[in-house]
């Protein structure tokens, strides 16, 4: 879990829950009664005259598209016509055809401006007669904004679930992302060797937001949107559920240190703000490339194909994007976290390098929130293995009073405001000083029962101009040594003494050195590194 992101003025989970229970909306707004935005009975002469449109695709050369008409085929009776309309004399209908293959066609509503509505609903009637030719007939609901790509809402029928009589869709609550300008609703029909699908009496209603005189401006801290959970399909593990870190709200999916690819991921999202919009994300998958954007709650990636996710992009939509950012970071095969945090649709990961994403972390923050950089680390301990939780900025990692050696270490920077990162090397039993590792890579050994005896840590790149890194260790038979800084060695050499604990902290350039007593721990030696058995 990540602790790097803390924001001034953020509210607790309890406060968010209270706001939700009280029906929190934008300060200074009043919800009006539900009003009718669109009421279409398709009684015009054609779709164009009614302001509707149609897109179609076919794989067999015949163009089958929606039209307004007065009759449709009765169940099992191709020679018997019935009145197609649910009410009035006409409906929108995609007709039967007698060639092979499958056609789909999208019936497109007029563009609507739903940006001034708190919520919106849709209802309509549809008919989907039974298909005597055993074809597949499906009806699904979609939307798009500003003519962009179509996004799914829900599905209603399939070939095993015919509706030979007019059936109500019920009242469908439209996703928050539909509450935008220039939005269109699409009725997508997949029609193959059947009697077609009819639509009638389409009604869109919404609750208007009416501002009162002297309204205060929206406070992005008053009721925060948040990523509430997630699920990932991980190599050799399968589906695993994850939850955000309670203190920071950062959601982390995946694993590190296990070399396992993520194949599919889902983020769950709550928006109690009263603003339109949602969280969307898309992934770049091995051998497939970029997949379509999906809304929060929908899976991105693949399962059962053994294909790694190589990159991800995330974004907020609608009014949410005016007040909040989604920030995210990934752990990349061979690179670790060295790419740093990105936000609002930027690419995290790689394309064209065949590198898997092993972990992704994300959170929502008000625009303009000040981030700060900190260091995150964990160690591999004798008889225990890797710590399950990371330590941050001066917290102790390791053990005290248990005489257990440290065998490996991973560390990286979080909340990185500048380019660059952190590198480190360790002095290992029987091996001596090892080469430099970078940004989340493991330094030391695992499964060899070799103790760490010393460590050097150093910042590199632009971040080194703004921060110093301090670190100190607990050495066998000595105790806590003094602070080392910016690449100086800490620990011992030539004493066969194990490291048992470590503290690491970043401080802005020009800040004082951490005190001899820090986080409740006091140095017992003025030396940061002891070589041999003399401290002279």
In SS3 terms, 224-274 reads as CCEEEEEEEEECCCEEEEECCCCCCCCEEEECCCCCCCEEEEEEEEECCCC
Q: Which residue has the higher pLDDT, 261 or 533?
A: 261
β-bridge mates for residue 521, sequence order: 518
The burial of 82, by beta-carbon neighbours within 10 Å (0-12 exposed, 13-18 middle, 19 or more buried), is given as middle
The model's confidence at residue 161, banded by pLDDT at 50, 70 and 90, is low
- Residue 78 in this model has a pLDDT that exceeds 70: no
Owner of token pair 């076919």? 58
Q: Give 295's pLDDT tier (boundaries 50, 70, 90).
A: very high
Least confident of 4-18, 114-128, 343-357, 379-393: 4-18
Question: Is the pTM value of this prediction over 0.75?
Answer: no
Give me the domains of the chain, ranges plus CATH numbers: 13-27+220-366 (no CATH), 30-210 (2.60.120.200), 374-531 (no CATH)
Q: What's the pLDDT band for 222 if we cut at 50, 70, 90?
A: confident
Give residue 9's pLDDT: 28
Phi, psi torsion values for 321, nearest 5 degrees = -65, -15
Position 158 confidence tier, pLDDT thresholds 50, 70, 90: low
Cα–Cα distances in angstroms (integers) from residue 197 to residues 44, 70, 303, 483, in the given order:
19, 13, 32, 75
The torsion angles phi and psi of 158, rounded to 5 degrees, stand at: -145, 180
Tell me what the pLDDT averaged over the chain comes to.
81
Query: Rounded to whole angstroms, what are the CA distances from 515 to 334, 379, 456, 508?
Result: 36, 23, 20, 15
Cα 97 to Cα 62, 133, 195: the distances in Å are 9, 11, 8
CB atoms closer than 10 angstroms to residue 20: 12
pLDDT at 440 over 50: yes
Distance CA 275, CA 218 (A): 10
Site of tokens 């999916």: 253
The residues, any chain, with a CB within 8 Å of residue 443's CB and separated by 6 or more, are 408, 409, 410, 424, 425, 426, 434, 437, 455
For 486-513, what is the mean pLDDT? Answer: 90
Taking Cα atoms as reference points, which of 239, 231, 253 lies closest to residue 359?
Answer: 253
What is the CB-side half-sphere exposure of residue 435 using CA atoms within 13 A? 2
**What pLDDT sits at residue 213?**
46
> What is the enclosing helix (H) or strand (E) of 361?
strand 357-366
Beta 452-460 vs 421-428: how paired, if at all?
A: antiparallel
């Amino acid at each position: 879990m990540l602790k790097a992101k803390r924001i001034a003025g953020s509210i607790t989970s309890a406060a968010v829950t209270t706001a939700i229970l009280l029906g929190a909306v934008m300060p200074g707004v009043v919800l009006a009664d539900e009003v009718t935005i669109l009421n279409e009975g398709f009684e015009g002469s054609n779709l164009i005259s009614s302001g509707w449109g149609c897109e179609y695709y076919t794989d067999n050369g015949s163009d089958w598209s929606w039209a307004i008409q007065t009759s449709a085929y009765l169940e099992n009776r191709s020679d018997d016509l019935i009145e197609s309309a649910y009410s009035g004399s006409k409906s929108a209908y995609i007709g039967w055809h007698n060639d092979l293959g499958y056609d789909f066609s999208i019936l497109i509503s007029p563009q609507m401006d739903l940006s001034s509505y708190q919520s919106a609903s849709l209802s309509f009637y549809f008919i989907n007669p039974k298909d005597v030719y055993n074809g597949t007939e499906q009806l699904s609901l979609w939307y798009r904004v500003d003519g962009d790509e179509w996004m799914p809402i829900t599905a209603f029928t399939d070939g095993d679930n015919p509706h030979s009589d007019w059936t109500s869709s019920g009242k469908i609550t439209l996703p928050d992302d539909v509450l935008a300008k220039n939005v269109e609703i699409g009725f997508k029909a997949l029609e193959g060797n059947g009697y077609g699908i009819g639509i009638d009496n389409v009604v869109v209603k919404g609750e208007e937001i009416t501002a009162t005189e002297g309204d205060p401006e929206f406070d992005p801290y008053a009721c925060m949107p948040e990523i509430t959970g997630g699920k990932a399909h991980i190599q050799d593990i399968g589906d695993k559920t994850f939850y955000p870190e309670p203190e920071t709200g950062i959601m982390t999916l995946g694993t590190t240190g296990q070399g396992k690819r993520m194949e599919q991921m889902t983020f769950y999202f709550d928006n109690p703000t009263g603003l339109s919009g949602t969280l969307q994300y898309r992934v770049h998958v091995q051998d497939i490339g970029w997949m379509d954007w999906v809304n929060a709650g929908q899976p991105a990636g693949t399962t059962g194909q053994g294909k790694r996710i190589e990159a991800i992009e995330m974004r907020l939509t609608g009014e949410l994007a005016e007040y909040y950012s989604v920030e995210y970071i990934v752990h990349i095969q061979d690179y670790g976290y060295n790419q740093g945090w990105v936000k609002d649709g930027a690419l995290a990961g790689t394309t064209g390098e065949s590198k898997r994403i092993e972990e992704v972390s994300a959170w929502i923050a008000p625009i303009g929130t000040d981030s700060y950089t900190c260091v995150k680390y964990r160690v591999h301990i004798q008889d225990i293995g890797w710590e399950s939780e990371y330590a941050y900025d001066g917290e102790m990692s390791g053990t005290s009073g248990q005489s257990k050696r440290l065998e490996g270490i991973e560390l990286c920077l979080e909340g990185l405001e500048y380019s660059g990162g952190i590198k480190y090397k360790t002095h290992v039993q029987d091996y001596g000083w090892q080469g430099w590792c970078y940004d989340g890579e493991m330094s030391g050994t695992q499964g060899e029962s070799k103790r760490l005896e010393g460590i050097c840590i150093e910042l590199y790149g632009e971040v080194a101009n703004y921060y110093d890194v301090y670190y100190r260790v607990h050495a066998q038979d000595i105790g806590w040594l003094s602070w080392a800084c910016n690449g100086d060695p800490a620990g011992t050499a030539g004493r066969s003494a194990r490291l048992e604990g470590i503290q690491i902290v970043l401080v802005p350039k020009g800040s004082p050195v951490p005190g001899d007593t820090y986080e409740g721990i006091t140095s017992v030696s003025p030396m940061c590194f002891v070589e041999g058995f003399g401290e002279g």
